[in-house]
Amino acid sequence: MSHYLITIRSTSQTMGIYQGASPEEAIEAMSRDAGYASLEAEAQSTGTTADKLRADLSVELVRVGHLIGRIADVMVHLDRDSGDCSPETLADPEAGDASDWDARSMASTAEDAVGPIGRIVAEQYRERILRAYCRAWRDAAEAAADAS
């Protein structure tokens, strides 16, 4: 399954990231997410054709896993710079739990890290980013401990 960022060209409105084996399947997933049975049903209810709706969509393949990893790494880098990710903190079982990363700070950091798509990824994949952050945090703290 691939991930696709779907944007309406005429309004520049980002609809989100949708999964599908193809861009067409991702478009169908977007229509279902909007409450329609299919793109055809959406077109019929809005008084247009599926071809016209499809022509107004920009569908871009997105490497979500790569973006999640990059965002988590930047979060860890920021924590390391602040002293929150150090060998001394490894013994603390609460350390690296990402509790300091609320949705707003994560979205802002994600946007800074990878551009506007980062905010969308942070909003849709917050739990996956938090899991990746915890793994990356532990790796960074252990590497710092090994280096000392």
CB 120 within 8 A of CB 100: no
Q: What is the pLDDT of residue 44?
A: 96
Q: What is the pLDDT of residue 51?
A: 96
- The residue that leads in pLDDT, 133 or 45, is 45
Rounded Cα–Cα distance for residues 68 and 115 (Å): 13
Mean pLDDT of all residues in 20-37: 97
Q: Given a cut of 60, is residue 17 above it in pLDDT? A: yes
Rounded Cα–Cα distance for residues 27 and 30 (Å): 5
Q: What is the pLDDT of residue 34?
A: 94
Ranges 18-32, 55-69, 131-145: which has the least confidence: 131-145
Nearest to 95 by CA among 86, 82, 103: 86
pLDDT per residue as tens digits for the range 52-105: 999 999 999 999 999 999 999 998 888 766 656 555 665 565 655 566 678 888
